[in-house]
């Protein structure tokens, strides 16, 4: 149990690194700006999802926060107002990736018990039993790690971090490769753990299901490294409705706005010309009123390119609206 409230903040994060351009004759990656002025805030006991397609910058943002990213970064990452250094992150936070190797021959219980922590003796054993129960691993506690299924392995990897009592826990696409029931179980377990222990949780999702929406307190939508929305999930629907993009009934809000703000980096051609009719409509969009945004794609023979350009234009408008409102809110609170 965490004794006090913690706040993780990221302000104006920019990050440049090498990316795979996907070309056969390029010989390798090229330097690109993968994060562009991203902001986020996570409080103790909250679950925040970073949403975006491949190439949107989800993993890059987690790596920047965890101080393990390659390339150059600028901006501020703070924990309770203090700079979050690599040493501080290792002491107070945890990071669950897909590259978690267990020691063959050990059981689930032994794996958790041998995890280095400041606890020992009875307190350590009690903590291990509690984590096993919280992660629904008690029934397989005596099972060898090599005999676990993917869902159990994923929860064990989370348990290795939770037994250390982190104040913030980062997870890189924890539901990837899981069936719907296992994905639902995992997110619900993380939400319950956050509320029970006070640990703040920041996780990335590429294909969020509608049944996980109630477990999320905050959401950050990324597209090509920029934030389309960052804030509470309760305010999300009202926000998008207010700028002219209401979510249709019976639609999954997470997937609907994710699809709306998705651009596949592999299909983006930077020399394309996009004509957005009536630029004056952007002004009331930025200020307060709801408008109907019309986007016209010209001079495209390829339908995929046209759809990409359409998505690019919509995403650009959403990002401009979000960033402008974020600036106005920041100025208003100073």
pLDDT band at 70 (very low <50, low <70, confident <90, very high): confident
How far does CA 269 lie from the centroid of its chain?
26
* Per-residue pLDDT, 75: 95
Average pLDDT over residues 145-169: 95
CA 14 vs. chain centroid, Å, equals 16
The whole-number pLDDT of residue 286 equals 39
Give dist(CA 228, CA 4) in Å, integer. Answer: 31
Contacts of 137 (CB under 8 A, 6+ apart): 108, 131, 152, 155, 156, 159
In this prediction, residue 327 carries a pLDDT of: 54
Q: Which residue has the higher pLDDT, 84 or 234?
A: 84
Summary mean pLDDT of the chain: 81
User: Between 5 and 285, where is the model more confident?
Assistant: 5
Residue with tokens 């291990």: 128
Return the SS3 of 101. coil
Could you tell me which residue, 282 or 139, shows the higher pLDDT?
A: 139
Report the percent of the chain where pLDDT is more than 70.
75
More confident site: 303 or 40:
40
b/e code 234-244 from CB counts within 10 Å (16+ = b): eebeebbebbb
Task: Look at residue 206 and give its three-state secondary structure.
Answer: coil
Is 40 strand, coil or helix?
Answer: strand
Helix (H, G, I), strand (E, B) or coil at 238: helix
Q: Is the pLDDT of residue 300 over 80?
A: no
Residue 307 pLDDT exceeds 60: no
Whole-number percent of the chain with pLDDT over 90: 55
Query: What are the sequence ranges of the domains in the chain?
Result: 7-19+31-98+168-265
Residue 230 predicted with pLDDT over 90: yes
Distance CA 86, CA 160 (A): 19
In CATH, the architecture of 7-19+31-98+168-265 is: 3-Layer(aba) Sandwich (3.40)
Q: Which of 171-175, 261-265, 324-328 has the highest mean pLDDT?
A: 171-175
pLDDT band at 18, cuts 50/70/90?
Answer: confident
* Cα–Cα distance measured from residue 13 to residue 334, given in angstroms and rounded to the nearest whole number: 20
> How does strand 274-275 pair with strand 226-232?
unpaired
Is the CB of residue 104 less than 8 Å from the CB of residue 123? no
Locate 192 and state its tokens. Answer: 């319950």
Strand partners, 168: 93, 200
| Cα 281 to chain centroid, rounded | 31
The confidence score (pLDDT) of residue 285 equals 37
**For residue 36, what are its two tokens?**
């562009």
Candidate from 35-44, 248-257, 323-332 with smallest mean pLDDT: 323-332
pLDDT of residue 122: 80
Helix (H) or strand (E) holding 188: helix 180-197
The maximal CA–CA distance of the chain, rounded, in angstroms, is 71
Place of tokens 């509608």: 210
Q: Which helix (H) or strand (E) holds 41?
A: strand 30-43
CB–CB of 312/274 below 8 Å?
yes
Give the per-residue pLDDT at 1: 55
Q: What is the pLDDT of residue 283?
A: 35
Q: How far apart are CA 148 and CA 142, in angstroms?
A: 11
Cβ atoms of 129 and 110 closer than 8 Å:
no
């Amino acid at each position: 149990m965490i004794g006090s409230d913690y706040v993780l903040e990221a302000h104006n994060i920019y990050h440049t690194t090498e990316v795979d351009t996907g070309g056969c004759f390029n010989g390798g990656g090229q330097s690109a700006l993968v994060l562009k002025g991203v902001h986020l805030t996570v409080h103790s006991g909250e679950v925040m999802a970073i949403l975006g397609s491949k190439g949107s910058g989800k993993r890059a943002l987690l790596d920047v926060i965890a101080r393990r990213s390659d390339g150059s970064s600028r901006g501020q990452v703070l924990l309770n107002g203090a700079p979050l250094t690599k040493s501080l992150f290792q002491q107070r936070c945890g990071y669950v990736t897909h590259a978690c190797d267990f020691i063959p021959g050990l059981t689930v219980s032994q794996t958790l018990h041998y995890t280095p922590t400041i606890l020992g003796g009875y307190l350590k054993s009690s903590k291990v039993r509690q984590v096993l129960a919280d992660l629904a691993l008690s029934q397989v506690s005596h099972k060898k790690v090599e005999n676990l299924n993917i869902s159990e392995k994923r929860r064990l990897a989370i348990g290795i971090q939770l037994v250390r009592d982190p104040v913030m826990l980062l997870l890189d696409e924890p539901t990837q490769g899981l069936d719907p029931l296992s994905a639902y179980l995992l997110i619900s377990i993380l939400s319950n753990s956050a509320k029970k222990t006070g640990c703040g949780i920041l996780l990335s999702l590429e294909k969020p299901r509608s049944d996980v929406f109630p477990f999320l307190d905050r959401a950050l939508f990324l597209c090509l490294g920029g934030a389309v929305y960052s804030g509470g999930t309760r305010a999300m629907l009202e926000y998008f409705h207010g700028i002219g993009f209401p979510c249709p009934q019976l639609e999954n809000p997470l997937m609907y706005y994710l699809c709306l703000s998705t651009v596949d980096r592999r299909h983006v051609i930077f020399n394309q010309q996009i004509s957005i009719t009536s630029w004056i409509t952007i002004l009331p969009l930025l200020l307060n009123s709801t408008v109907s945004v019309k986007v016209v794609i010209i001079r495209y023979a390829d339908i995929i390119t046209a759809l990409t350009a359409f998505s690019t234009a919509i995403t650009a408008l959403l990002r401009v609206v979000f960033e402008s409102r974020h600036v106005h809110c920041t100025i208003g609170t100073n």
